[in-house]
């Protein structure tokens, strides 16, 4: 059966005759369908966040599973959670068909190995508090389905993302999210708008999840991990913006608490020491807003 993502696009049957200007126009315009597809799935994405939150609060992990472009997008989302939200690295795992080699090259046949998908899930000991995101444009990739089925047997919450309606990844997951992007401008090249839709959906899911886990104050990313000079500078800016303190005072307070922006904000807003600020945050599950209001 030919899926929608693999069908030739009837609007651009002579794509190879287009000028460079027309090619760029068409390729960009078609990306609008990616945003629409994610928008249409927003209720399912919100439900996924609601069901994932209590599992994350109980110590669960996010486990991303995919092959090819889908696997790399899952990997990207997983690795960005640590510097952005201080999400522990061991609680954001990316499994890819073909293993780490597949990050930079195509591993022939890896995506067709359903047993390996199941084995990889078993190797990370997926359990009831874990959330497994199974990502496949076609929705029928054997590696991803093997992982999804093994995750369900292990009791993990499974979230399936696919770009084709009624695909197995969607129908077999606890929460199936259809990102119906239709045929690609270049037939079957799901690195185009199908991939864009997956990226938006994953960004939206993980960002909303982190907000729910008190990683954001207002709209400020106050639980970032300053792993570079740029992020140290950003930490100072976030602290001054949230508290009105001078750059000098903000930096001095940040230095005294290992550049924990949340701690510095509470200390400065409450006029207390950083040790007391840490205790206040711990008592309210890391919520800056609640710690300030105490």
- The string of pLDDT tens digits covering residues 98-141 is 998 888 887 778 899 999 999 999 999 999 999 999 999 999 99
For domain 4-212, give the CATH superfamily.
Answer: Glucose-6-phosphate isomerase like protein; domain 1 (3.40.50.10490)
- pLDDT tens across 62-73, in order? 999 999 999 999
Q: What percent of the chain has pLDDT over 90?
A: 87
> Against a cut of 0.75, is the pTM above it?
yes
What is the rounded average pLDDT for all residues in the chain?
A: 95
Distance from chain centroid for Cα 41: 15
- pLDDT tens across 171-215, in order? 999 999 999 999 999 998 899 999 999 999 999 999 999 999 999
What is the pLDDT averaged over residues 268-283?
96
pLDDT computed for residue 1 by the predictor = 54
Assigned fold of 229-293: Helicase, Ruva Protein; domain 3 (1.10.8)
Q: In sequence order, which residues have a C-beta less than 8 Å from that of residue 150 and are 6 or more positions away?
A: 117, 118, 119, 121, 122, 126
**Domain-wise residue ranges, the chain:** 4-212, 229-293
Q: Is the dihedral of CA 247, 252, 257, 263 positive or negative?
A: negative
- pLDDT tens across 11-24, in order? 898 999 999 999 99
Task: Enumerate the β-bridge partners of residue 231.
Answer: none
Closest CA to 197 of 175, 215, 181: 181
Distances (CA, A) of 181 to 3, 20, 37, 99, 189: 11, 24, 6, 28, 12
pLDDT computed for residue 188 by the predictor = 85
* pLDDT band, very low/low/confident/very high, at 51 (cuts 50, 70, 90): very high
Would you please indicate which residues are annotated as catalytic (active-site) residues?
Answer: 80, 111
Structure tokens at 106: 């195509």
> What is the Cα–Cα distance from 215 to 168, expressed in whole angstroms?
34
> What is the Cα–Cα distance from 178 to 169, expressed in whole angstroms?
9
Task: Enumerate the β-bridge partners of residue 217.
Answer: 220
Q: At 175, is the secondary structure helix, strand, or coil? A: strand
Rounded-to-10 torsion of CA 77, 242, 230, 216? -10
8 Å CB contact between 161 and 198: yes
């Amino acid at each position: 059966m030919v899926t929608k993502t693999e069908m030739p696009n009837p609007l651009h049957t002579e794509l190879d005759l287009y000028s460079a200007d027309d090619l760029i126009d068409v390729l960009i315009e078609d990306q609008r369908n990616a945003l629409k597809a994610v928008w249409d799935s927003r209720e399912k994405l919100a439900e996924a966040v609601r069901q994932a939150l209590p599992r994350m609060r109980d110590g669960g992990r996010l486990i991303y599973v995919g092959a090819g472009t889908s696997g790399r997008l899952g990997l990207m989302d997983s690795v960005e959670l640590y510097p952005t939200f201080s999400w522990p690295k061991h609680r954001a795992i990316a499994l890819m068909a073909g293993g780490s080699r597949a990050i930079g090259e195509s591993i022939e046949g890896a995506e067709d190995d359903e047993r390996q998908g199941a084995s990889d899930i078993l190797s990370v000991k997926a359990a009831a508090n874990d959330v497994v995101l199974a990502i496949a444009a076609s929705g029928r990739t054997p590696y991803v389905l093997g992982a999804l089925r093994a995750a369900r047997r292990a009791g993990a919450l499974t979230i399936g993302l696919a770009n084709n309606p009624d695909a197995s990844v969607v129908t077999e997951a606890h929460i199936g999210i259809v990102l119906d992007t239709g045929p690609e401008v270049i037939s079957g090249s799901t690195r185009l708008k199908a991939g864009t839709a997956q990226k938006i959906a994953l960004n939206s899911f993980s960002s909303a999840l982190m907000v729910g886990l008190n990683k954001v104050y207002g709209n400020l990313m106050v639980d970032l991990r300053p792993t570079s000079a740029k992020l140290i500078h950003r930490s100072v800016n976030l602290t001054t913006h949230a508290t009105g303190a001078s750059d000098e005072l903000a930096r001095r307070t940040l230095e005294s608490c290992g550049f924990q922006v949340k701690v510095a904000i509470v200390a400065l807003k409450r006029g207390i020491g950083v040790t007391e600020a840490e205790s206040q945050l711990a008592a309210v599950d890391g919520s800056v807003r609640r710690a300030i209001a105490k």
